[in-house]
Amino acid sequence: MQTELQQAQAELADKTYEGTAGGGVVKATVKGSGQLVAVSFDPSVLDPEDPEMAGDLVVAAVNQAMATAADEASSAMGGLAGGMDLGGLLG
């Protein structure tokens, strides 16, 4: 079982997850390991009069991508553990 858990953790760490904000004008991609690997913008969101908006959208997109990764990890690991208490191992 420990080998299966380690394999699942490695697979999840290498997967990428995408989050979006502002109706898709900002996209963030993270790895399951938590590493931010890309951020892209629709040029329409880059308003020189309101730079804070772009920052807020990046934060929202990254948080969404991280939450998606965490949810998938929790589901995958929880299924493998069969309801065992892993003492915070899943995050």
pLDDT of 75 reads 83
**What does the longest C-alpha to C-alpha distance in the chain come to?**
55
pLDDT of 7 reads 82
Q: Domain-by-domain residue ranges, the chain?
A: 2-76
pLDDT of 13 reads 86
Distance CA 11, CA 73 (A): 10
pLDDT of 85 reads 54
Structure tokens at 42: 């629709």
CATH of domain 2-76: 3.30.1310.10
User: What pTM does this model have?
Assistant: 0.77
Q: What is the pLDDT along the chain (91 residues), one digit of tens a residue?
A: 678 778 878 888 889 999 999 999 999 999 988 899 999 999 998 999 999 999 999 999 999 999 999 998 888 777 655 555 555 544 4
pLDDT of 43 reads 92
What are the φ/ψ torsions at residue 34 (nearest 5 degrees)? 100, 0
